[in-house]
Amino acid sequence: MMMRKLTVSLLSIGVIMTSMHVIAANEPIQPIKPVKPENAELVELGKMLFFDPRLSKSGFISCNSCHNLSMGGTDNIKTSIGHKWQQGPINAPTVLNSSMNLAQFWDGRAKDLKEQAGGPIANPGEMASTHDIAVKVIDSMSKYQAQFKKAFGSDGVDIDRVTTAIAAFEETLVTPGSRFDKWLEGDKNALSKEEQDGYNVFKSSGCTKCHNGPAVGGNSFEKMGVYKPYETKSTAEGRKGVTGKEEDRLHFKVPTLRNVELTYPYFHDGGAATLEEAVDTMAKIQLNKEFSKEEIANVVAFLKTLTGKQPDFKLPILPPSNNSTPRPEPFDK
């Protein structure tokens, strides 16, 4: 009797332990792991640069202007506003968990975060500076010079180091600890019935064909409008712009759905104002499915469980400009 009881309880411990691991292993979505930065000084420098509007010609626009870390790493408008109030052509994706993307930008034209970070500084529609001027601005301040030395172990400010530091900071912008991850890790009570039903619909209807992995996206380029065309006024061509191939027209990087509750409006043109609308459109044009009101509500409830712990850090205090710092030019002369 005693023996049997012991075997049973050992067995059930085994089952509990394996099921805790198995849940995550068998699911198309895996939990996000926290990151431990190797070089804290480099991350600190990258954070300063991410928040420094003096990387822009106007002295007014920082990375954080369009990737606001108080708002899910986005600007929450349809398409971004850049230098001299220019309306950009495309919606700003979140920088949260962007280190997990197979490439950067909607069309994947930058291979990684470092390559990406040079783009907006010199983009006339975004920060409108040049790499040369941006480096001169940063290099004019002795506090920055000292931080570069701490981060890289030697003197010197150049664009390669600027983008390396920004990328190192961005790599820390991961959001573990969502309720969905707790559920994946075995906490059955982390999700309500409605949220679990939503996850089941998400899986069984085929959303996970494209939205999978730890970032619930970011792993592939897929056509927007598999079964029915996506109605938009945007002229964005997607992946075709990179490969030149006609069959890549309107193929976009599948966006991450982590923190999607925070990253409205949705799609590359910001065309869907709400999650309900985005889910309904996806079901119709990507899967040829008509979701009921209840299915949409449940999938939306599930998607909201993907909101993780937001980056938590001390706001960087930036060194003041001095007499030799090139001045901002917010307006035409």
In the chain, % helix, strand, coil (3-state, to 5) comes to: 45, 5, 50
CB of 165 to ligand HEC, least distance (A): 10
* Distances from the Cα of 179 to the Cα of 20, 175, 214, angstroms: 15, 11, 14
Closest to ligand HEC by CB, 186 vs 213, is 213
Closest to ligand HEC by CB, 186 vs 192, is 192
Residue 227: which of 293, 283, 279, 299 has the closest Cα? 283
CA dist 253 and 284 (Å) reads 19
Does residue 126 have an active-site annotation?
A: yes
Contact yes or no for 88/120 (Cβ under 8 A): no
- The helix or strand, by DSSP H or E, that contains position 223, with its residue range, turns out to be strand 221-223
CB of 65 to ligand HEC, least distance (A): 5
Closest to ligand HEC by CB, 108 vs 319, is 108
CB of 199 to ligand HEC, least distance (A): 11
Place of tokens 């191939």: 245
46 contacts ligand HEC (rule: CB under 6 A): no
Closest to ligand HEC by CB, 101 vs 305, is 101
Among 138, 151, 166, 301, binds ligand HEC (CB under 6 A): 166
Which residues make Cβ contacts (< 8 Å) with residue 37, sequence separation at least 6? Answer: 43, 168, 171, 172
Among 207, 215, 262, 306, binds ligand HEC (CB under 6 A): 207
306 contacts ligand HEC (rule: CB under 6 A): no
42 contacts ligand HEC (rule: CB under 6 A): no
226 contacts ligand HEC (rule: CB under 6 A): yes
Contact yes or no for 157/151 (Cβ under 8 A): no
- Sign, CA torsion 159/164/166/167: positive
Amino acid at 145: Q
Give ∠ CA 320-325-331 in degrees, rounded to 5. Answer: 100
Q: Which residues are near ligand HEC by CB under 6 A?
A: 61, 63, 65-67, 80, 82, 88, 90, 92-93, 95, 98, 101, 104-106, 113, 116-117, 120-121, 126-127, 166, 202, 205-207, 209-211, 222, 224, 226, 252, 254-255, 257, 260, 263, 266-268, 278-279, 282-283, 286-287, 299
Question: Which residues are marked as active site?
Answer: 126
